[in-house]
């Protein structure tokens, strides 16, 4: 009986095995269902692991995902901007001085359009303050056109979006954050913040017109703000793109024709500054998407090297193209205007406003020559093979021989340019697409001018020369001679202005010994300027005064149609006339006196050899006397400085002025307080001796 009971309760080994298999299957089904519920939204569509702002919704905080935007973004109804510091590493060399230690940092800028108006051509100012050196900015370019690496840590910098320059609204895109938000990844170097401190910018600000930005909110490694529309700012809702801006030099990049793999573009440079100018201009930019120039009309590139196309992406796609006939394959081509003899050439000329050897004059001189135009055929590579895939080049730079320093911003999409109908009908022809590049004149930094001024006067037989290293001292001679870059320029006899600097040293030393001036050892370095201008106060009388201006060209380039702009302060109102130049007083431009060469005498020749082989080289020279009256400026004190320019420009380039003016006492002008003290001391001694 016991045996039968035991045998009946025994469970076969297969039953537990099958139960275990069933339980495992049921558990896996439950996990699958739960996982599916996590990854499916309320519409049954699978969810992504990236949140609406591009971050990791799982909260893992992986290195690839950008930092999560604070919750304050939900209350923003404008443009939300956030800057996040991601981390840094100590760079070599390792030094003990905290302020001298460099750190490699990474950070990220995010913009989100939370409003109901599209943000076009966004620009953001970042107030870097720790001597930052930006090495790269993925998703943006520097608005001032500087190349990477760029020093931005002194005054901050403004960046613009590229390739995503516009931010659409959630309303127009059904909440597609790839179109309403953008992230910019920064890499760079910074100095001087010791851990655990965090090197953060001083401020953030949206630079687009029509927005008001409050002071940003700050956290340890994040600052953010919400910029809202200015209700007082009027917006033209009829315009699809931005209005054209105004600048000193405005450049248009107009696409005239477009096909699948290429397009025809026209570049127009127009000078809108009354004293701006270009001579022998050179234009360069950077192709960002592998484009190359097939042909050009009205201009040429400095290098034709087909190998960059043949062995690059263009050669892989255009395998049957003869790249030896291509104009340029460089990523950064350098372009120049054609000479005048190519103006009527059937192949490269026959274009209005071209072929003047790179001369762009101000409209105050000649409005018909204030514009320069050329055309180029551009070929594209995949994936931009659609006829609507049009991207302008970036990082525009424009230079001349001796002209103002222009800083160019990024291309901005504007309303299409209008052109007259080529058939002669009274119709308007619009460009396919237009971008504007605004270039503005910047004031040259100290010792970076390209022209300088010397002062002299009838009441002092010494000339105050151009400043030491006025135009830089980077190219000093390698003949073993040494000079001081910090010693002030030595006073000269008048005849020394007619010889090159290397022939002035003996004259300067001899003159200093005669006048008992200090002789520096080592001697001061030269001014190194290609053009120098002497301003000589010639006479001062009751009803007026006169000055003589002499131009010296020490360079190898001649200047045709030159001009000089002189700002005299309150003395400009008394300008009467120039005897050997054309002189005009521009009252609307800070009372600037505009001086030009007379017809047939408007050519400032280059430096030439002397009569004999041993004679010093002779500069190109032009001179004129200027007369001023005192009807409205009777109170002027000419010897005390009213007779000397406050600012002088040659062909638009601001020239370096001397640090002091000639004085009646001879030599360097003395301080008036010291003169008074000396006078009082002399009186006391005299009274003591009389007694």
Sequence-distant (6+) residues with CB within 8 A of 597 are 561, 562, 581, 582, 603, 604, 622
Do 333 and 394 belong together in one domain? yes
**CA–CA distance, 371 with 336 (Å, rounded to integer):** 14
Q: Please count the structural domains in the chain.
A: 4
Paired tokens of 529: 């300027």
- Within a domain: residue 675? no
Question: In the predicted model, what is the mean pLDDT of residues 146-171?
Answer: 89
Question: Is 445 strand, coil or helix?
Answer: coil
Do 153 and 289 belong together in one domain? no
CATH of the domain at 78: 2.60.40.290
Q: Phi and psi at residue 370, in whole multiples of 5°?
A: -95, 10
- Within a domain: residue 386? yes
Do 267 and 125 belong together in one domain? no
Q: Per-residue confidence at 10, pLDDT binned at 50, 70, 90?
A: low
Do 415 and 363 belong together in one domain? yes
Do 120 and 200 belong together in one domain? yes
Sequence-distant (6+) residues with CB within 8 A of 180 are 112, 113, 167, 168, 169, 170, 173
Whole domain around residue 565: which residue ranges? 451-475+482-654
pLDDT, tens only, 548-573: 999 999 988 889 899 999 999 999 99
Higher-confidence residue: 153 or 108? 108
Q: Per-residue confidence at 51, pLDDT binned at 50, 70, 90?
A: very low
Average model confidence (pLDDT) across the chain: 85
Do 266 and 375 belong together in one domain? yes
Do 195 and 214 belong together in one domain? yes
Nearest alpha carbon to residue 211 among 189, 228, 186, 192 = 228
Q: Is 9 left (phi over 0), alpha (psi -120 to 50) or beta?
A: alpha
Question: In the predicted model, what is the mean pLDDT of residues 140-152?
Answer: 86
Q: What's the pLDDT score for residue 300?
A: 96
Q: What's the pLDDT score for residue 82?
A: 93
Percent of the chain with pLDDT over 70: 84
Residue that the structure tokens 């970036």 belong to: 394
Q: In the listed set 171, 195, 229, which residue is the last one of a domain according to the structure?
A: 229
Do 498 and 404 belong together in one domain? no
Q: What's the pLDDT score for residue 48?
A: 39
Complete DSSP assignment for 16-54: HHHHHHHHHHHHHHHHHHHHHHHHB-TTSPBPPSB-TTS
**CA–CA distance, 246 with 248 (Å, rounded to integer):** 7
- Within a domain: residue 242? no
- Within a domain: residue 534? yes
Question: In the predicted model, what is the mean pLDDT of residues 512-530?
Answer: 91
**CA–CA distance, 176 with 665 (Å, rounded to integer):** 77
pLDDT at 674 over 80: no
- Within a domain: residue 681? no
Question: In the predicted model, what is the mean pLDDT of residues 613-642?
Answer: 89
Per residue, what are the HEC states of 271-313? ECCCCCCECCCEEEEECCCCCEEEEEECEEECCCCCHHHHCCH
Paired tokens of 578: 């120039």
Do 523 and 642 belong together in one domain? yes
- Within a domain: residue 602? yes
Across 53-57, 524-528, 664-668, which has the greatest mean pLDDT? 524-528
- Within a domain: residue 185? yes
Q: In the listed set 442, 463, 497, which residue is the last one of a domain according to the structure?
A: 442
Do 412 and 500 belong together in one domain? no
pLDDT, tens only, 574-606: 999 999 999 999 998 889 999 999 988 888 998
Q: Per-residue confidence at 1, pLDDT binned at 50, 70, 90?
A: very low
pLDDT, tens only, 261-310: 999 999 999 999 999 999 999 999 999 999 999 999 999 999 999 999 99
pLDDT at 67 over 90: no
Percent of the chain with pLDDT over 90: 60
Question: In the predicted model, what is the mean pLDDT of residues 372-381?
Answer: 96
- Within a domain: residue 685? no
Q: What's the pLDDT score for residue 243?
A: 83
Q: What pTM does this model have?
A: 0.78
Give the single-character DSSP code of 383. T
Do 372 and 272 belong together in one domain? yes
Paired tokens of 71: 């919750």
Do 463 and 429 belong together in one domain? no
pLDDT at 50 over 90: no
């Amino acid at each position: 009986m016991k045996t039968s009971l035991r045998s009946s309760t025994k469970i076969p080994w297969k039953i537990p095995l099958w139960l275990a298999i069933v339980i495992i299957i049921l558990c896996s089904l439950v996990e699958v269902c739960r996982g599916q519920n996590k990854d499916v939204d309320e519409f049954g569509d699978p969810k992504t692991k990236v949140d609406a702002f591009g971050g990791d919704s799982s909260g893992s905080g992986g290195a690839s995902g950008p930092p999560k935007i604070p919750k304050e973004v939900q209350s923003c109804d404008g443009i939300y901007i956030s800057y996040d510091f991601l981390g840094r590493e100590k760079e070599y060399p390792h030094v003990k001085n905290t302020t001298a230690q460099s750190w490699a940092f990474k950070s990220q800028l995010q913009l989100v359009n939370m409003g109901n108006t599209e943000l076009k051509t966004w620009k953001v100012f970042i107030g870097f303050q720790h001597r930052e050196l930006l090495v790269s900015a993925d998703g943006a370019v520097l608005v001032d056109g500087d190349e990477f690496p760029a020093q931005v840590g002194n005054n901050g910098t403004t960046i613009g979006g590229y390739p995503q320059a516009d931010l659409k609204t959630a309303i127009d895109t059904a909440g597609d954050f790839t179109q309403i938000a953008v992230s910019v990844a920064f890499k760079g170097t910074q100095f001087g913040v010791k851990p655990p401190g965090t090197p953060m910018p001083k401020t953030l600000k949206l630079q687009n017109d029509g927005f008001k930005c409050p002071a940003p909110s700050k956290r340890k490694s994040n600052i953010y703000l919400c910029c809202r529309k200015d209700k007082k700012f009027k917006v033209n809702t009829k315009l699809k793109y931005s209005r054209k801006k105004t600048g000193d030099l405005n450049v248009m990049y107009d696409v005239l024709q477009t096909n699948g793999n290429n397009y025809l573009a026209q570049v127009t440079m127009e000078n809108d500054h009354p004293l701006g100018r270009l001579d022998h201009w050179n234009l360069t930019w950077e192709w960002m998407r592998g484009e190359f120039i097939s042909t050009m009309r009205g201009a040429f590139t400095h290098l034709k090297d087909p190998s960059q196309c043949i062995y690059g992406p263009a050669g892989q796609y255009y395998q049957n193209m003869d790249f030896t006939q291509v104009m340029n394959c460089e990523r950064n081509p350098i372009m120049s205007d054609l000479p005048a003899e190519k103006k009527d050439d059937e192949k490269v000329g026959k274009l209005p406003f071209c072929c003047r050897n790179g001369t762009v004059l101000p409209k105050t001189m000649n409005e018909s020559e204030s514009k320069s135009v050329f055309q180029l055929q551009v070929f594209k590579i995949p994936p931009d093979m659609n006829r609507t895939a049009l991207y302008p080049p970036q990082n525009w730079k424009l230079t001349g021989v001796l002209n103002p320093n222009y800083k160019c911003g990024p291309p901005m999409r504007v309303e299409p340019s209008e052109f007259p109908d080529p058939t002669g009908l009274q119709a308007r022809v619009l460009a396919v697409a237009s971008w504007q590049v605004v270039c503005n004149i910047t004031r040259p930094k100290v010792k970076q001018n390209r022209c300088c001024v010397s002062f002299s006067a009838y009441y002092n037989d010494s000339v105050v020369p151009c400043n030491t290293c006025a135009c830089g001292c980077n190219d000093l001679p390698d003949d073993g001679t040494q000079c001081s870059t910090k010693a002030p320029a030595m006073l000269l006899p008048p005849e020394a202005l007619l010889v090159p600097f290397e022939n002035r040293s003996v004259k300067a030393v001899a003159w200093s010994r005669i006048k008992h001036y200090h002789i520096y050892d080592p001697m001061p370095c030269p001014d190194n300027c290609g053009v120098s201008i002497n301003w000589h106060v010639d006479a001062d009388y009751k009803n007026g005064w006169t000055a003589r201006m002499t131009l010296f060209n020490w360079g190898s380039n001649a200047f045709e149609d030159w001009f000089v702009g002189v700002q005299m302060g309150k003395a400009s109102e008394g300008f009467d006339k120039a005897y050997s130049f054309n002189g005009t007083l521009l009252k609307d431009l800070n009372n600037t006196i505009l001086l030009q060469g007379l017809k047939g005498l408007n050519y400032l020749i280059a430096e030439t050899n002397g009569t004999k082989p041993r004679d010093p080289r002779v500069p190109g020279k032009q001179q004129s006397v200027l007369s001023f009256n005192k009807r409205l400026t009777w109170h002027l004190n000419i010897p005390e400085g009213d007779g000397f320019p406050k600012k002088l420009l040659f062909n638009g380039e601001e020239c370096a002025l001397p640090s002091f003016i000639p004085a009646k006492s001879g030599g360097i002008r003395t301080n008036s307080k010291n003169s008074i003290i000396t006078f009082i001391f002399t009186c006391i001694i005299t009274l003591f001796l009389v007694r």
